[in-house]
């Protein structure tokens, strides 16, 4: 079982989801991700969420999907899966979840220093300055 504060937070997000708040699903997913949990752990949650169109604000959800693909790609030594995860992180930035910029910068700083990788690194470092995100 989880502690009372987490239970209250999940309950709050579920209420917001049931009221049709479009950002509530991705906020709940991100909240659980930061606590090392996932939505899959809650049996009745999917049924509640299926009734609501939560795809309007998916920046955080796409970020989490991308991070999971990157982690799986690293475990399996699957470079194409890592690249797919990076694409999802970039998509989450385009959808307004700017915290993903930190992970994109980390990726390009540790990648091979090709011309295209350095261009991407520079581009996302500029975005981090523009959005006031420190690494």
pLDDT of 72-126, one tens digit each? Answer: 999 999 999 999 999 999 999 988 889 999 999 999 999 889 999 999 999 999 9
The H-assigned helical ranges of the chain are: 4-18, 24-34, 45-50, 59-76, 79-94, 100-110, 115-131
Please tell me the predicted confidence (pLDDT) of residue 1.
35
Given a cut of 60, whether residue 56 has pLDDT beyond it is: no
Structure-model confidence comparison of residues 11 and 1, the more confident one: 11
pLDDT of 4-41, one tens digit each? Answer: 688 888 888 888 877 767 778 788 888 888 888 877 77
Please tell me the predicted confidence (pLDDT) of residue 21.
76
Task: From residue 54, give the alpha-carbon distance in Å to each of 28, 46, 112, 127, 130.
Answer: 11, 12, 37, 27, 28
pTM, entire model = 0.66
Separation of alpha carbons 52 and 34, rounded Å:
23
Contact 44, 14 (CB under 8 A): no
């Amino acid at each position: 079982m989880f502690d009372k504060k987490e239970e209250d937070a999940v309950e709050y997000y579920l209420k917001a989801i049931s009221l049709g708040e479009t950002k509530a699903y991705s906020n709940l997913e991100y909240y659980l991700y930061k606590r090392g949990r996932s939505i899959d752990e809650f049996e009745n949650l999917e049924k509640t969420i299926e009734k609501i169109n939560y795809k309007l604000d998916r920046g955080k959800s796409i970020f989490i999907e991308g991070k999971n693909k990157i982690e799986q790609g690293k475990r399996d030594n699957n470079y194409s899966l890592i690249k797919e995860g990076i694409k999802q992180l970039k998509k989450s930035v385009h959808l307004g979840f700017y915290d993903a910029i930190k992970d994109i910068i980390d990726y390009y700083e540790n990648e091979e220093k090709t011309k295209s990788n350095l261009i991407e690194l520079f581009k996302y470092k500029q975005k981090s300055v523009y959005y006031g995100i420190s690494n």
